[in-house]
Amino acid sequence: MIKFVKAGALTLSAITAVALLPTAAEAASPQSLCGAGYTIVKDGSRAIKTKSGEQLGVTYVLYSGRTGKNCAVTIKTKYVGKPSYTYVRLEVKKGPWDSDSGDFTRYAGPVYVSARHKCVSYWGNVSSPDGKKSAYGGRTKFDNCG
């Protein structure tokens, strides 16, 4: 009987520990993906929505004053854990750009461009695993010039 109680207590502890672990979506933050010193810029996030308004993800742009680089990521908010087309693009006005795309389970990116004292634009795309839904979002005008 005592062994059963101890086993039950151990099981309850294990269940509690598992319940406290972050989910895949919680574990992927823009700051954790871009790295130390990167912060989300003013107007630095855009919802990725279908034409009907369903949100499938968020695209973020961050900046590091230490490196002079911007970073962008697209993080899925729907279909997390299931491979589906996910895309992120970051572009410097009259300059270089970088992108990442593929059938990802959580996010696309991070991508980086040197942008000290330059303007950037960013956008992303998330599709459903079957490809029947597709959502776009971002800021196509150049801003955050710093």
% pLDDT > 90, the chain: 73
> Residue 145 above 80 pLDDT?
no
Confidence band of 18 (pLDDT split at 50, 70, 90): very low
Q: Is the distance from CB of 132 to CB of 108 less than 8 angstroms?
A: no
Provide the whole-model pTM. 0.80
- The pLDDT assigned to 5 comes to 41
Q: Is residue 30's pLDDT more than 90?
A: yes
Helices (H) and strands (E) in the chain, counts: 3, 8
**In contact, 126 and 101? CB cutoff 8 Å:** no
CB-hemisphere CA count at 13 Å for 70?
A: 33
Q: Is 56 helix (H, G, I), strand (E, B) or coil?
A: strand
The residues, any chain, with a CB within 8 Å of residue 37's CB and separated by 6 or more, are 64, 65, 66, 67
Q: What is the pLDDT of residue 146?
A: 65
pLDDT grade, residue 143 (50/70/90)? confident
Contact 58, 77 (CB under 8 A): yes
